[in-house]
Structures are given as C-alpha cells and as structure tokens.
Amino acid sequence: MTDEHDTDPTRRRMLKAAALLPLAAACNGLSWGADAPMTQASFALDMTRPGRRVDPSLASLSYETLELSDPTFFAADNHGLVRMFREMNPHGVLRIGGNTSDDTVWGGYKGKMPTYVPRRHGKLLQPHVLKPEGLQALAGFVRATGWKLVFGVNLRIGSPEMALDLAQTVQKLVGDQLLAIQIGNEANNYEPDYAAFDAVWTPYAKALRAAGLPIAGPDTGANTDWVIEYAKRHARENVFLSRHYYREAAENGSIPDMLAGDPGFFGEVEQIMQVADQYGLPFRISEGNSYYNGGRDGTSNVFASALWGADFMLALAQRGVAGMHFHGGTLLSVETSLGRMAKAPAGGDIVAQRDAQASRYSAIAGSSELGFQPRPLFHGIALAQRFAGARMLPGQLDTGGANLAAYAAQQGDAVLVALINKDAQRDAAVALSGLPHGAKGELMRLRAPALDSRRDVSFAADGHASVGADGTCCCITLPRGSAVWGQWSLPA
C-alpha cells in the first residue's frame, strides 16, 4: 500500500481523531426483548491501513442471451427495467451470456451456419436465432441505463467468422459502452481441459482482436486454474479476467447453508487476485448467484438472499474483485438455458404475479407487461453498492459466537460500516470503535419480517449514532437476520 493518503488533510484529521480510541467499547446492559439473549460483539476499525478501492461497477448483472429474443425486454422504452438498473447502480455492467449464448446463432450472419450439436441430456434440437432487432433494442437499453456491456459469443457450436460478424455488429451499435466480448460460456462443461479450450478459443480471439474488438475471459464455470492459465497466456490483450460462482446446486440449497459462508471460495479469489494484480487486470465474477440449476425457491428469492448478497459482494470487494454479476432475468430464459420448460405459478396479486415471471435467483422480478419490482436480493446489493468508490479498511470483528460479518471503508471524508447479522437465533449488540472522534453517523437498516420473507423488505434510514469527543461510540443493535449500513463524517 502506498502512503498517498497521508498527504490528504481530511484523512490526517480523521486518523488523529481515531487514534486514541480503546480497542472496543462495551455494549453492556443492552437488551430489547425480555427473554432474548443478546450476543455482545465488537468491531474495531483500523484507519491506518487502507485496503482495496471498491470499483464503482461492483453491483452488476448477468442475463441469458435468449432474453434478447424479446426486443421489448432490453429496450430503451422499457422504463421500469431501466429505472431498476439505474437505481441499483448508475455505473453497472450488463453481461449477456449463459448457456443460451452457446446455443444461439447470429441471425444477421450471411455465411455458412455452424451445425447445431445438442447438449448432452439437452432437449433443444435447433439453435436459438438472435435477430438484429434484439441487438438494436439492447443498444438502446444500454444507452438509457448508462451501463456498460459485456457480450458473449458462441464458442460451443460457433465459427470464428460468425462470432466476428456478431461482435462487430454489437460494437457498431453499442460503441464505447461495449466493455468486452467474451467467447464461450463455461467451456469447462464441454472442453476436457484448459489446453483444449485454449486451442478452440484462439482462432476466435485472433479474428476478434485483428478487428480491434476488446476481449475478456475465460468466463469459466468454477475453474480457478483456468483463469490463472488464461491470464498467463493472454493477459496482454485482455480487458478483465472472469469466472463464475454459485455456492452449490439448487437441490442442495437452504437458508442455513447459504448463510454459512464459503471461505474456501475466497481462498480461490485470493489466488486469482494475486495473478490479476501481477498483470494489472481487473477480475470480475461475470456470472453467479446463490444456487445454480436456476436458484432455489424459498432460499434464493427470500430475504436471507439479501444478507447473503451484501456479505458476498463486500467480501469480494475487500479482496479487490471489480464486479459481481448476479445472474437472473425471466424464468423462461433461465429454465430454457437448463433445457427445461418454464412453469410459472399463476394467480395472486400483482407482486406475486411479477415474482412468478422471474427466475428464482433474479434480483429483479417482473415483465414488460406487468412492470418490475425489486426482489429481496436487490436490497442487499444496494447496501453493498453504497461502498462504491470507497477504500476498504481492515477491522477486527469479535462475533461473540453469532454469525456476523462486518466491513468498513473510507469514502472521501466519511467512514462507512456494514454490519450483517446472518444468525437465525441470536440478536447482537455490536460495539464499534476506531471511528473518528466527534463524527456524526447516519444509519440505514436492511430488514424484513423473517429470513424467509418474500416481501416487506426495506432498506431505509434509521436514526443516528455519534462518536463522542472522547471517542466513545457506538453500540449498534443488530437483530437476528438484519443488517445495518452507517456513514460517519466529521462535522464541517
């Protein structure tokens, strides 16, 4: 870490103010339910060792290519969806890909079409055809949202000529908002090893690069070794490194499993980041969510997923990952990507109807006809996205035995803190320390009636917490299954 910050007067002032704090203030005597045992926890920030900067595009999304078969979905005048994207992140990146990108041929291509090879166990006998209208509408959507685009071309049943034609059309329509083209989706599912992938990938990459197109990859499913090997071979002509993440298959999912965390995966992220840093490349989770095979009903689409999503994003950001693309979209597109029919439950009020139209893990639910609404996960993403542009700070968390996570960062003049209580049983009182003396804090709470709530999720302002002139601060109550975001600034 450089000491660039020490030349910053605000930072010097804040460091001085934080310097004399005790390691942890106590939260003794706090309880709000007569019989609820309150876990005493503490989080001590260390303002002297700033870490990674959080990329503004941290909150990003991933959709199936098949979504483009409805040119009214990703369209500039699909105002409800445009609004949801902008609200999530004005600086996001939309990735188009998934299994259906490798099952799609480009309808605008005049050359010889590749022969379709059905997937093993797949029911699709003909490829999907991407029509020019779908791409034109997508370009309008990207302009309306201000998001950047990562577009996946077919590798599994493609040809370099068709991929080049498609990628050039995308670039012509999208212009500077095209961040990169990726070639193939989870090729680890159809190529035996990295060397085989690299051999089929290279002619595509050569053709695209020769035409001046930006490339990213390898967009592998879960193969950290592929990402590292790819970086070694292609770093110099590559925009970012990518892989996917899902905790597990939907069949094995549950709320307790989701909230238990996945430390092994973060070890892999650290391995990739070492290589990414060495080559000066960003690393993005270009597709991911809680559970693959379309997500798990009652887990991926309930409030627990908001706590999981916020924690997951901040754990990635702390390690320097630039973007997390939550996969989602319509139930139709995701079920088709898995070779299944979409059977949306009918009936209910408008909220239930919109919910039924979306894939189980999607952060946004709805359709062009019914309008759009946030899923619980959306609010967790919004909480983590409040760290955009900030520099992560280390801190020492004593969980007191509860399932808690805590993050801190410095954003301009302010210090940000996120406290996440993923415990289903234990309420906690978290003693915060290390904040600048005299800083005024504003809190927002992320909550819902229960971990399995599908609605009534809110992320809203909830009072203040100030640091005394002597540095004493702050006991934050953190009910089970809830999170707090706080921002502390010194009065001007």
Closer by beta carbon to ligand BDP, 187 or else 467: 187
**Closest-approach residue to ligand BDP (CB):** 98
293 binds ligand BDP (CB under 6 A): yes
CA dihedral for 460, 462, 466, 471, sign (positive or negative): negative
* Of 259, 267, 276, 255, the residue nearest 312 (C-alpha): 259
- Select from 47-55, 202-210, 287-295, 391-399 the region that touches ligand BDP (CB under 6 A): 287-295
186 binds ligand BDP (CB under 6 A): yes
Q: Which of 65, 99, 154, 169 binds ligand BDP (CB under 6 A)?
A: 99
Judged by DSSP in three states, 388 sits in coil
Closer by beta carbon to ligand BDP, 168 or else 254: 254
The residues facing 443 across adjacent strands are 486
Query: Minimum distance between the CB of residue 283 and ligand BDP, rounded to whole angstroms?
Result: 18
Closer by beta carbon to ligand BDP, 253 or else 380: 253
Task: For residue 224, count CB atoms less than 10 angstroms from its CB and return exposed for 0-12, middle for 13-18, buried for 19 or more.
Answer: middle
List Cβ<8 Å contacts ≥24 apart for 204-207.
204/153, 204/155, 204/158, 204/160, 204/163, 204/164, 205/234, 205/237, 206/160, 207/160, 207/161, 207/163, 207/164
219 binds ligand BDP (CB under 6 A): no
Q: Which of 51, 221, 441, 479 binds ligand BDP (CB under 6 A)?
A: 221
CB atoms under 10 Å from CB of 468, counted, come to 12
Q: How far apart are CA 75 and CA 78, in angstroms?
A: 5
185 binds ligand BDP (CB under 6 A): yes
- Select from 82-90, 198-206, 330-338, 469-477 the region that touches ligand BDP (CB under 6 A): 330-338
Q: Which of 40, 223, 286, 337 binds ligand BDP (CB under 6 A)?
A: 337
CA dihedral for 153, 157, 163, 166, sign (positive or negative): negative
Closer by beta carbon to ligand BDP, 55 or else 287: 287
Q: 78 CB contacts (<8 Å, ≥6 apart)?
A: 72, 141, 368
Do you find a cis peptide bond into 71, omega within 30 degrees of 0?
no
Q: Which of 30, 338, 352, 370 binds ligand BDP (CB under 6 A)?
A: 338
Residues 19-48, interacting with ligand BDP (CB under 6 A):
none
- Select from 6-14, 169-177, 290-298, 465-473 the region that touches ligand BDP (CB under 6 A): 290-298
| Residue 416: φ, ψ to 5° | -110, 145
Closer by beta carbon to ligand BDP, 242 or else 482: 242
| Tokens describing residue 16 | 């001085």
Query: Minimum distance between the CB of residue 334 and ligand BDP, rounded to whole angstroms?
Result: 5
Residues 55-74, interacting with ligand BDP (CB under 6 A):
64
CA torsion, ordered 250, 382, 216, 282, to nearest 10 deg: -120
Binding site for ligand BDP (CB under 6 A): 64, 98-99, 185-186, 221, 287, 292-294, 334, 337-338
